[in-house]
Structures are given as C-alpha cells and as structure tokens.
Amino acid sequence: MAVQTIAVLPGDGIGKEVVAIGREMLELYRSRGFPLALWDLDLGADRYLRDGTTMPEDVFARIRDECSAVLLGALGDPRVPNLEHARDILLGLRFRLDLFANIRPCRALDDRLVPLKGKGAKDVSFVVFRENTEGIYVNVGGNFKKGTPDEIAINEDVNTRKGVERIIRKAFDHALAHGNKTVHMADKSNAMRQSGDLWQRVFQAVARDYPGIAAKHVYVDALCLYLIQAPERFEVIVTNNLFGDIITDLAAALHGGLGMACSASIGAGPVGLFEPVHGSAPDIAGQDKANPLATVLTVGAMMSHLGYPREEARLEAIVREAVAAKQCTADVGGTLGTAATGRFVLDRLKRDDPSP
Ligand code: NAD
Ligand code: IPM
Ligand code: MN
C-alpha cells in the first residue's frame, strides 16, 4: 500500500501542545504498520516573527501534490495583531486547496458535558456543514479615507452558485448516508436579500434530489435560540462561512466546549485539512491546561479520511472513556493536564494494539 504523507502543522499557542499528542498518536500508528509518513512544518507566529515566512510556495505545492492530509493545531498570536500569518497559512490552505466543506460534528460524548437543564448526550448530535471557501472571508473589499473621521471599510460577501450548491449537496449526501431525516439551511435572507435568495433557491433545487429528507429553512439568529432550547431538533445544518464559524463555537458549548470540538475540511481533491475548532487560546497557552481531546477526535476524522474508519470509532471510544473516568482536563471535569490526558489516550491506544 502506498505511503500516505501527513503534514503536521502545530502553529501557535495551545496548537503546539495538542498537536504534540496528535503527532504521537500518528507515530504510534506508523510504528504499528500503518503506511503513514509524517512531515513536520515549522510555520506559525514564531517563524513569522523570526524571518517573515508565512506559507512558502514550495511547501504549499508539496502539500497539494504529495500529502494526503494536514494536521493543524491553531494559528493566532497576540504578537501578530493583524493575523497576517494565519491568513496565509490557515485560510491559504482552505482556499487554495479548495477545501469547500468544513465539517464540524457536534456530538456530546457524555451526559455530563451537556450544560442544558434537562438535556443529555442523546439530545446533542448533529453536524454542521460550513461553506469554507467563500462568503465574507474572501478578502474582497477595501478602505476609503482610512484614518479620517469619514473613513469607510467594506467587506464583500461573495456567494457563487457553484459554491453554494456543492456545500448543500455535501450536507444532503451526508444526511442520506447517515439515515438522517432533515437538513436545516441557516441563513439571514430576511436582511441579506441577494445572497439569501441564492441560498434559498439552490437549497430547494438540491433538496428535490433527496426526496426522503425534509429540507428546512431556519434564520441563523433563531437557530442560535433553538440550539439552546431544543438541540435535539437538529441532525444536519448547512450554512455559509461566517455563520458556520459562529454557530460552531456556540454548538461546542453544548457538548463540553471547544476542547471537545473537531473539524475536517474536505474538497474535491485528495488532501484534507484536519483541525480542532478551537484557536490558540493565549489565555491558557503554555500552562498544560489545554484539552487535547478535540485533537484526538480530529486525528480520528483524519484516520477515516485516510481509509481507516475503525480507528475513528476506536478513538471516539477512548475519548468517551477518558471523560467518563475523568481522566481529562479541568474544562471537562477532570484533574489532569494536557500531557497526562494525552498519555491516557496513548496508553489505551497501545493496549488496543491497532493494526491496519
Ligand atoms: P480560542 O478558541 O483560542 O479560545 C476561546 C476560549 O476557549 C478561551 O477561553 C480558551 O481558553 C478556551 N479553549 C479553547 N480551546 C481550548 C482547549 N483545547 N481546552 C480548554 N480550553 C480551550 O478563541 P480566541 O481566544 O477567540 O482566539 C485566540 C486566537 O486563536 C486568535 O488569534 C484567533 O484568531 C485564533 N483562532 C484560530 C483558530 C484556528 O487556527 N483554527 C480558530 C479560532 C481562533
Ligand atoms: C476557525 C477560526 C478561523 C475562522 C479564524 C482564525 C480565521 O475562527 O477556524 O473557526 O474564522 O474560520
Ligand atoms: Mn472559529
């Protein structure tokens, strides 16, 4: 079997701490005979501040042409206030690899992680399909009279029919494959008329190809309400780039916080980008406090992408066990640090003796 190369890009802040564990897991898989190769990338704020490098062209080309996946921690550092490096590295990978589907599962793995009164793990189980290559993230816009009392700042919200259709279709395909009965499309078509109209029309058109699945519309503001009141109503949610970013932080709070939220960015090509939903968390960085379980679940999603879905299930079971036994960090009710939580996961994985 051909060796699959994984680029490992810890990035900034807690990204380094959690990816160190993800990397050890991948190294264990490799040593147990999984045909994987790891390629460490020293990119992020430290490198940027050292020599101005963000994403070198040859590195990008090698990721695009030779890698099967990227494991990314987080980008964002208080010393780089405009996040210039993150735009090139993180958004650069998402956009230039055309990874249009940012898939963010929101699934509670323990009753204890659900903070809503009267709700438990069975009530929080849905997936958000976030459009990942367009919207307000495209950096189309400009300034006028910047720095004066009359200044104007514009960010355009770009929606293409092709872009809207492919993410909606991806969401329906997922619903079909998983036996879901509904797909909700969240927009703000009552205020953003042109883009809302496009999303509405394409949603209805695509839905006709999936007769067994109810296509439901919800305004994104109301969705925030319903996600707290009745999260059990949702199975699959599809939305644009910005709304997807915001509602997945909110949704993370329903199942233990950002330390439990994993994500995959997938396109039409073979390379996938795998990252926990959280950022570099400067408030806890370097203190051995970061929850690495989002990264463990992210490695699981990556293993599935590489052709090893059994490992995704295995890692999810280990994460459930870590939380249930409180062998985890304080944000999810444990007393361990980042490294010790990682050791718990690795010990369990070793005991299972996984093989390809
Ligand atoms: P954040 O996600 O870094 O942190 C938000 C809150 O959640 C903080 O209180 C933090 O301590 C907590 N938290 C996050 N991850 C955690 C974990 N694994 N374990 C325990 N607690 C955790 O968001 P922020 O503070 O708004 O952003 C910090 C920086 O990260 C910014 O520069 C931002 O732009 C960047 N960011 C990057 C990514 C990414 O690289 N994908 C994602 C989000 C934010
Ligand atoms: C995320 C982050 C990024 C985003 C930032 C860092 C640009 O919040 O991955 O959720 O908005 O996509
Ligand atoms: Mn975000």
Domain residues for the domain of 1 are 1-104+258-356
Kindly state whether residue 114 falls inside one of the protein's structural domains: no
The last residue of a domain, from among 253, 268, 302:
253
Residue 213 identity: I
Give the predicted TM-score (pTM) of the model: 0.98
Residue with tokens 């898989």: 29
* Residues involved in catalysis: 137, 188, 221, 245, 249
CA proximity to 247, closest of 77, 102, 79, 61: 102
The last residue of a domain, from among 253, 286, 301:
253
Taking the chain (356 residues) in consecutive chunks of 10 residues, what is each chunk's mean pLDDT?
Answer: 95 98 98 98 98 97 98 97 93 98 98 98 98 97 97 97 98 98 98 97 98 98 98 98 98 98 97 98 98 98 98 98 98 98 98 92
CA distance 221 to 259: 24
- The values of phi and psi at residue 152, to 5°, are -130, 140
Determine which residue's CA is closest to atom 4 belonging to ligand 2. 245
Supply 142's token pair. Answer: 């400009």
CA distance 90 to 16: 15
131 lines ligand 2 (CB under 6 A): no
Check whether residue 133 and residue 247 sit in a common domain. Answer: yes
Check whether residue 234 and residue 280 sit in a common domain. Answer: no
What's the start-to-end Cα distance of the chain, in Å? 11
Check whether residue 331 and residue 264 sit in a common domain. Answer: yes
Check whether residue 41 and residue 60 sit in a common domain. Answer: yes
Check whether residue 277 and residue 231 sit in a common domain. Answer: no
Kindly state whether residue 209 falls inside one of the protein's structural domains: yes
Check whether residue 135 and residue 172 sit in a common domain. Answer: yes
Collect residues with CB below 5 Å from ion ligand 3: 245
Give distance in angstroms: CA of 279 to centre of ligand 1.
3
According to the model, what pLDDT value does residue 82 have? 87
Kindly state whether residue 112 falls inside one of the protein's structural domains: no
Residue 98 identity: D
Check whether residue 272 and residue 236 sit in a common domain. Answer: no
Residue 147 identity: G
Check whether residue 139 and residue 242 sit in a common domain. Answer: yes
According to the model, what pLDDT value does residue 24 have? 98
Check whether residue 42 and residue 154 sit in a common domain. Answer: no
Q: Domain total for the chain?
A: 2
Check whether residue 292 and residue 322 sit in a common domain. Answer: yes
12 lines ligand 2 (CB under 6 A): no
Kindly state whether residue 198 falls inside one of the protein's structural domains: yes
Q: Which residues touch 55 (CB under 8 Å, ≥6 apart)?
A: 43, 88, 89, 92, 93
CATH of the domain at 308: 3.40.718.10
The last residue of a domain, from among 228, 253, 278:
253
Beta strands in 240-323 (DSSP E): 262-266, 272-276
Kindly state whether residue 111 falls inside one of the protein's structural domains: no
According to the model, what pLDDT value does residue 181 have? 98
Determine which residue's CA is closest to atom 33 belonging to ligand 1. 76
Kindly state whether residue 199 falls inside one of the protein's structural domains: yes
340 lines ligand 1 (CB under 6 A): no
Check whether residue 192 and residue 140 sit in a common domain. Answer: yes
Is residue 100 within 8 Å of residue 63, measured between CB atoms?
A: no
Kindly state whether residue 162 falls inside one of the protein's structural domains: yes
Check whether residue 88 and residue 60 sit in a common domain. Answer: yes
